[in-house]
């Protein structure tokens, strides 16, 4: 598969009435600190609190009537679960969400809110996959992967489409990378609109499988990822690896303290809630690791769902 700008544009037409057109925020304070112009695309203010609403909505919209009737299934304990549940509800079809039994109650609640059927499984990848497979066989539901799916990637790319409509003369884009669905879609979109734009993936040093995968030229698994950015622990998929190899200029890794500082700075200065994973794109700039002086930099803030009773700066000694 090769994703094209036309796919992303078609996705945007398909979903734009069902998602927020999220704002692009700027800050004179953060510009002065970076010596650059920064444009924050606020996907933390997206429906369900994360960009995942884009891809899931596009994937569900693309189902045939017959497929749709049988519903959709996925395994996820994160934002994709809520996004798929919501997309299914909007289309009026069943959603089956396989969730590890040890998921936080808040995650269960956010999925249940959209009327999805939750199937609990053991907290292992093997159990998640086998449970989802058996649900699909029993119900005939279509499996929608959180990132390794062309419909999902095209949907995520619409974030970059909007950003570049609002700020056409960007020179660089910084985008968090976990499984790579967002980064793939963003890179395809940005490079198609303007091949001169540099697109960087950003990931936690404690979950640097994307950097290792690009270096090795093949997908490296995410072994014992250790990071507060819980949305970025996945390994790349075949589709996302292909698009990232083709379009992305590099992967930057950030430390845990850069992630927490990025998150806190965004809270304090932009006055918006981002989760640790959602702030990772700003990580390379917060302490000056990456010098983008004089440039016009788009930064994708990907999500804002987190437990307000367990903020990183609440833990003494961290």
The site for its own copies (CB under 8 A) is made up of 23, 25, 44-45, 49, 264, 267-268, 270-274, 304, 308-309, 311, 313-314
Task: Tell me the closest approach of the beta carbon of residue 226 to its own copies, in angstroms.
Answer: 25
For residue 177, the Cα-to-chain-centroid distance in whole angstroms is: 7
Residue 274 Cβ, how far from its own copies at the closest point, in Å?
8
- Angular region, 104: left φ>0, alpha ψ -120 to 50, beta rest: beta
Q: Closer to its own copies by CB, 86 or 128: give it.
A: 86
Nearest distance in Å: CB 34, its own copies: 16
Q: Which residue, 104 or 123, has its beta carbon nearer to its own copies?
A: 104
Q: Which is nearer to its own copies, 210 or 270 (CB)?
A: 270
Residue 305 CB, nearest approach to its own copies (Å): 8
Measured CA to CA in angstroms, residue 223 lies from 29, 121, 206, 299 at distances of 38, 21, 10, 27
Q: Which is nearer to its own copies, 278 or 283 (CB)?
A: 278
SS (H, E, C) 63-125: CCHHHHHHCEEEECCCHHHHHHHHHHHHHCCCEEEEEECCCCHHHHHHHHCCCCEEEEECCCH
Quote the least distance from Cβ 272 to its own copies, whole Å. 5
At residue 21, the 3 state secondary structure works out as coil
Q: Report the b/e string of 24-42 with b at 16+ CB within 10 A.
A: bbebeebeebbebbbbbbb
Residue 137 beta carbon to its own copies: minimum distance, rounded to whole angstroms: 34
Q: Which is nearer to its own copies, 49 or 181 (CB)?
A: 49
* E strand or H helix that includes residue 201: strand 198-204
Cβ proximity to its own copies, 115 vs 123, nearer residue: 115
The gap between the terminal CA atoms of the chain, to the nearest Å, is 44
């Amino acid at each position: 598969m090769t994703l094209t700008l036309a796919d992303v544009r078609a996705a945007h037409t398909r979903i734009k009435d069902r998602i927020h057109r999220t704002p692009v925020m700027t800050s004179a304070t953060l510009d002065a600190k970076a010596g650059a112009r920064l444009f924050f695309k606020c996907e933390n203010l997206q429906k369900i609190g994360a960009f995942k609403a884009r891809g899931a909505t596009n994937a569900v919209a693309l189902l045939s009537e017959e497929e749709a009737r049988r519903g959709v299934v996925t395994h996820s304990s994160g934002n994709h679960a809520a996004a798929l549940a919501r997309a299914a509800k909007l289309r009026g079809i069943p959603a089956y969400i396989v969730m590890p039994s040890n998921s936080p109650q808040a995650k269960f609640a956010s999925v249940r809110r959209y009327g999805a059927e939750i199937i609990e499984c053991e907290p292992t990848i093997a159990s998640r996959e086998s449970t989802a497979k058996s649900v699909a066989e029993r119900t005939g539901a279509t499996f929608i992967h959180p990132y390794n799916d062309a419909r999902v990637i095209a949907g995520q790319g619409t974030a970059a489409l909007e950003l570049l409509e609002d700020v056409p003369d960007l020179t660089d884009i910084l985008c968090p990378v976990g499984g790579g669905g967002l980064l793939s879609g963003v890179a395809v979109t940005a490079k198609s609109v303007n091949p001169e734009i540099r697109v960087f993936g950003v990931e936690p040093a404690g979950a640097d499988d994307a950097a290792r995968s690009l270096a090795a030229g093949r997908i490296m698994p995410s072994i014992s990822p250790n990071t507060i950015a819980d949305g970025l622990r996945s390994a790349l998929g075949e589709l996302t690896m292909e698009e990232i190899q083709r379009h992305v200029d590099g992967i930057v890794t950030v430390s845990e303290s850069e992630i927490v500082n990025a998150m806190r700075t965004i809270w304090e200065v932009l006055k918006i809630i981002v989760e640790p994973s959602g702030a990772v794109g700003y990580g390379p700039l917060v302490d000056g690791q990456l010098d983008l002086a004089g440039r016009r930099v788009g930064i994708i803030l990907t999500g804002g769902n987190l437990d307000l009773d367990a903020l990183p700066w609440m833990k003494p000694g961290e």
